[in-house]
Amino acid sequence: MADFGVKIACDPVYGVTAPACLVRRSTDQLKGKYSMAQEIERKYLVDTKLWRPLAAGLLYRQGYLSSVNERVVRVRIAADRGFLTIKGVTTGLCRLEFEYPIPREDAAVLLDKLCERPLIEKTRHREVFDGRTWEIDVFHGDNDGLVIAEIEVASPTEAIARPPWAGAEVSNDPRYFNSNLVAHPYKSWGGKRA
């Protein structure tokens, strides 16, 4: 049985700390093996009056080849690395997720020529609170002003300590799914938040 528990470790693909479920997949990918993982994450709006980045983040540029509910196919460039990710339908906080490294040049062509518009651009920050790594995304472009924090959990009922800057939970609000921000960017919401 594969261990998809949430433990923090060094990820050989991303080169940063990441949940063990992602590390396991990345390590297996480097060995030519691919394993299925279930993504379970909670999302929160960030109170920007209480949160400031502790360090420079990593610029992400991503787009979607498919953004239908049954299957989301994402292309991403994170710094100098390309990734192709396939996600299944979200049920509660859970969904299947498969992620594969691809050449950065291929990712750039897919983003520029094939992905739906607008692309999602954001800066991702990773910060540890109460021994857990949180990912804080500061969106740019059509989604400027939106800041969301995510944390991977082992189960939908796992209790977590929330940082003071983690505001309203939006885990079950599809408006905050990155794939939905393409068709309905944050700037078009007229200031309506959770």
Coil, strand, or helix at residue 165? coil
Q: pTM of the prediction?
A: 0.80
Q: Rounded mean pLDDT of the chain?
A: 85
Pair 64, 115: CB distance under 8 Å:
yes
Positive or negative, the Cα torsion across 88, 116, 176, 103? positive
The Cα-based distances of 95 to 1, 41, 171, 188 in angstroms read 19, 9, 12, 27
Q: Is the pLDDT of residue 11 over 50?
A: no
Q: Per mean pLDDT, which range of 30-39, 83-92, 95-104, 115-124 is the poorest?
A: 30-39
Q: Is the pLDDT of residue 8 over 90?
A: no
Q: Is the pLDDT of residue 119 over 70?
A: yes
Pair 63, 49: CB distance under 8 Å:
no
> What are the phi and psi torsion angles at 30 (to 5°)?
-65, -30
Coil, strand, or helix at residue 30? helix
Going by pLDDT thresholds of 50, 70 and 90, the confidence category of residue 58 is very high
Give catalytic residues, as residue numbers. 64
pLDDT at 194: 63
Give the integer Cα–Cα distance in Å for 13 and 24.
11
Q: Where are the domains of the chain?
A: 8-189
Give the integer Cα–Cα distance in Å for 166 and 169.
8
How confident is the model over 134-193, as pLDDT tens digits? 999 999 999 999 999 999 999 999 999 999 999 999 999 999 999 999 999 999 998 777
CATH class of 8-189: mainly beta
User: Side chain identity at 165, as an amino acid letter?
Assistant: W
Calculate ∠ Cα 46-91-114, nearest 5°.
Answer: 75
